[in-house]
Amino acid sequence: MIKKNKSTLIRISLLLFVIFIPFSLNSNSEVPDSKYLEISSLSFYQTQTCDFSLFDFWRENIGNEKVIIKADFFSSINCFGKVNGVDYINDSFYVYIGTNLNINLLIQSLFWLLLISFIKIPKDTDFSEKLKEKSSLVGIIITALLFTSQIFTEPKFYNLYNKNIDTSISSENFFILSVFLAYLIILKLSDDIITPRISVVSNYLPFLFLVLGTYSSSNINFYIIYFCLIGTKNFSTKTLINKYSLLYIALVFFWLFNQNSSNNYFDVDKIRGFANSENSQGSLIFWIIIFYFFVNGLLHVFKKYSSQLDFKVVKNSFLISGSLTVLFGLLGTISSYLNFINFYFFGQNKNGMNTFQSVAGNTWRGFSASAEAIGEFYGVALLVSFYFIFKFKKVTFMEIISIGLILYGLIKTNDAAVLISLLLILTFFLSNELTKSKKGAINLIIFFFLVIIFLLVIAYSFFNPGISKDYDFLSQNLLIESLRNSFYFEDENLFVNNLVDSSNYKDISYLEDYEDVLSKSTRFLLENYISDRNTNYIPNITSVISIGSSLINRTDKWGLFISRYNPNNIEFLFGGGPMQFDKFYNSHKIKFNDGLILPHSSVLDILLFFGLTGIVICIFGSIKLMSKNTSDIKYLFLFYILNLLKSDSMLYVSAFILIIFIAVQCQNHKSNMLNID
């Protein structure tokens, strides 16, 4: 007992050490004392850059509400953790704290690994199992080399985020050598700390939404690194000749041969850590390999230890992690210093919100980079909690508090789709449970449908109060949006504008530059809408998609996607490769070309990455998983599938892992009840 307490104490001390020491070191003793930051001391901080540590500055500026702390990604090693610049913008002081890739890799990993080390190693651990065997040093070196190669394959990103980057291959290139060594240390430590706990790690997956694992100044994520190591360790001829591997290899050929390098830089912004920032052969190969081993690693772990899942622990993880994301999100909003600490130590892709004020229609994403992704997570957490309350007919005080916090987070994200689908799935589940007794089954089914219709009507009128009820307008709304985003409207184009206003699409199709200006997908919608083969009273495909997008409030986002999406036949059928966005964003000119506006549907993301083939496989895979599945896990899967139709969650590592996890559980728990007793 004493030994156990001692070990916990050591870990807590190490955690505090990792948090405080790197951000507490001043440059030297000759530095003058730090000052309260105001207009009169602005020049003091502007001249004394790289002298004061974050905590030293914080000590002098407690309660200074004008201070906004930001990370300076482009800092040298000696300025790490120190005030590296101050700007006075709009009555606020922007204070930049230096961070550096070489140090970030180790400090952030140490923090995350220390947190993972709090998970108990199962007593009955059989270390002879292949997954629990330690990786060989050669395997670790190869994986470290693979991740180091990203600096060479995505130099534009790393040039932007790192001051002393050097991409020459030389024994004197200490930048690359230290990055390589940092990866070696991370992989070795991960293998020693996570691998013995691998059989129970799945129970704590919800914490991935709290500790997001994206390295500052880097375009990679901690979880990708570890699961790639697992993927490489379990790579064998058997894995290679698996039908999915063979299909992936076939797709690789299409991606590589269809790839045209360009000199663009794709700003990964909030999807940093899980997206290719360039359009080059090297970066494409990097992401093809990484994606394969990452998914391979995830599948191996989730399949192997599916039976060892303790759903009670999973539920508690959801509740704790969900409420902590809300709490830390609130703390980050209140204090700019904590916002920075959140960003750095939880590995956020993007700084959390620093205001409670409405952004884009009262969307408060709090801790997360995406309101939709965190909304879906809160939805899953609530679904799991309600399931347990229903099954056990009891709820603890702490659970009520956690559910309250998560509900607050969900309401603040303003994710109507999650709320509606949550109610839908819960009603479906309850109806299903109640009809099991067969008593009054028909009445309950009728009741279920009435509730659904009622909810849909409420949702329709409440969330889209301004939506038109005019069929003609709804059926061409998406096409209009797509045309208005096209390059025709870069300047005021009265002629085309009149054609669109009068729904004269035929004349648009006769325009001389029609094929050059409009994307193939816009032309597809347009030509289907005006096709002579359309039958009266049967909506054409353009109308169906357009009405659907209007009903779920996705017309503007999908309209933008359609105006951009201009694939050749191979791209349409097989996509451009995993996590490839550059070509989509930069190959076809449209009216708007600034800012990262994602497709807002994981189906469209799959279309970009894997083409129609990917969509067909996912549809059939989902049907296969759902059909004949009598286990309760299918409700979670259904919930996620419904939401993925209108969100980009699969682009975030934590959400991606959760989706794979739920899909694997759905496959492995076809009929048996979940292990919750």
**Contacts to other proteins by CB under 8 A:** 43-44, 46-50, 76-79, 102-103, 106, 164, 174-175, 177-178, 181-182, 184-185, 188-189
Element (H, E) at 643: helix 633-644
DSSP 264-291: -B---GGGTTSS--B-SHHHHHHHHHHH
Query: Nearer Cβ to other proteins, position 28 or 437?
Result: 28
Q: Which two tokens stand for residue 449?
A: 């449908």
CB burial of residue 379 (10 Å; 0-12, 13-18, 19+): buried
At its nearest, how many Å lie between other proteins and the CB of residue 201? Answer: 22
At its nearest, how many Å lie between other proteins and the CB of residue 669? Answer: 40
Query: Nearer Cβ to other proteins, position 77 or 434?
Result: 77
Please say whether the beta carbons of 343 and 351 come within 8 A. yes
Sequence-distant (6+) residues with CB within 8 A of 463 are 416, 553
Q: Residue with structure tokens 């503007």?
A: 556
> Distance between CA atoms of 318 and 238, rounded to whole angstroms?
35
Query: Nearer Cβ to other proteins, position 107 or 251?
Result: 107
Sequence-distant (6+) residues with CB within 8 A of 594 are none
Query: Nearer Cβ to other proteins, position 138 or 494?
Result: 138
Q: Which two tokens stand for residue 631?
A: 């286990």
Element (H, E) at 226: helix 222-233
Q: Which two tokens stand for residue 413?
A: 């994200």
Buried b (16+ CB within 10 A) or exposed e, 555-574: bbbbbbbbbbbbbeeebbbb
At its nearest, how many Å lie between other proteins and the CB of residue 78? Answer: 5
How many Cβ atoms are within 10 Å of 173's Cβ, its own excluded?
Answer: 15
At its nearest, how many Å lie between other proteins and the CB of residue 312? Answer: 36
Query: Nearer Cβ to other proteins, position 76 or 540?
Result: 76
Query: Nearer Cβ to other proteins, position 97 or 625?
Result: 97
β-bridge pairing 67-72 and 83-89: unpaired
Q: Which two tokens stand for residue 454?
A: 């009622």
At its nearest, how many Å lie between other proteins and the CB of residue 50? Answer: 6
At its nearest, how many Å lie between other proteins and the CB of residue 217? Answer: 14
Sequence-distant (6+) residues with CB within 8 A of 477 are 468, 546, 547, 549, 550, 555
Taking the CA atoms of residue 218, residue 222, residue 224 and residue 225 in that order, the dihedral angle to the nearest 10 degrees is 90
Task: Tell me the Cα Rg of the chain.
Answer: 26
Element (H, E) at 92: strand 92-98
Please say whether the beta carbons of 649 and 370 come within 8 A. yes
β-bridge pairing 92-98 and 83-89: antiparallel
Please say whether the beta carbons of 601 and 562 come within 8 A. no
Query: Nearer Cβ to other proteins, position 140 or 653?
Result: 140
How many Cβ atoms are within 10 Å of 498's Cβ, its own excluded?
Answer: 11
Please say whether the beta carbons of 636 and 380 come within 8 A. yes
Query: Nearer Cβ to other proteins, position 8 or 78?
Result: 78
Query: Nearer Cβ to other proteins, position 32 or 361?
Result: 32
At its nearest, how many Å lie between other proteins and the CB of residue 178? Answer: 4
At its nearest, how many Å lie between other proteins and the CB of residue 275? Answer: 27
Q: How far apart are the first and last CA of the chain?
A: 28
Q: Which two tokens stand for residue 352?
A: 């959390």
Query: Nearer Cβ to other proteins, position 195 or 351?
Result: 195
> Distance between CA atoms of 285 and 304, rounded to whole angstroms?
28
> Distance between CA atoms of 599 and 574, rounded to whole angstroms?
18
At its nearest, how many Å lie between other proteins and the CB of residue 466? Answer: 46
Please say whether the beta carbons of 161 and 73 come within 8 A. yes
Query: Nearer Cβ to other proteins, position 44 or 524?
Result: 44
Query: Nearer Cβ to other proteins, position 102 or 566?
Result: 102
Q: Which residues pair with 95 in a beta bridge?
A: 69, 86
At its nearest, how many Å lie between other proteins and the CB of residue 170? Answer: 12
Query: Nearer Cβ to other proteins, position 194 or 664?
Result: 194
At its nearest, how many Å lie between other proteins and the CB of residue 107? Answer: 12
Which amino acid belongs to residue 1? Answer: M
CA distances to 73, 174, 259, 322, 479 from 167, in Å: 18, 10, 24, 41, 46
Q: Which two tokens stand for residue 136?
A: 């060989």
At its nearest, how many Å lie between other proteins and the CB of residue 95? Answer: 15
Query: Nearer Cβ to other proteins, position 46 or 358?
Result: 46
At its nearest, how many Å lie between other proteins and the CB of residue 173? Answer: 8
At its nearest, how many Å lie between other proteins and the CB of residue 356? Answer: 35
Query: Nearer Cβ to other proteins, position 187 or 638?
Result: 187
At its nearest, how many Å lie between other proteins and the CB of residue 189? Answer: 7
How many Cβ atoms are within 10 Å of 72's Cβ, its own excluded?
Answer: 22
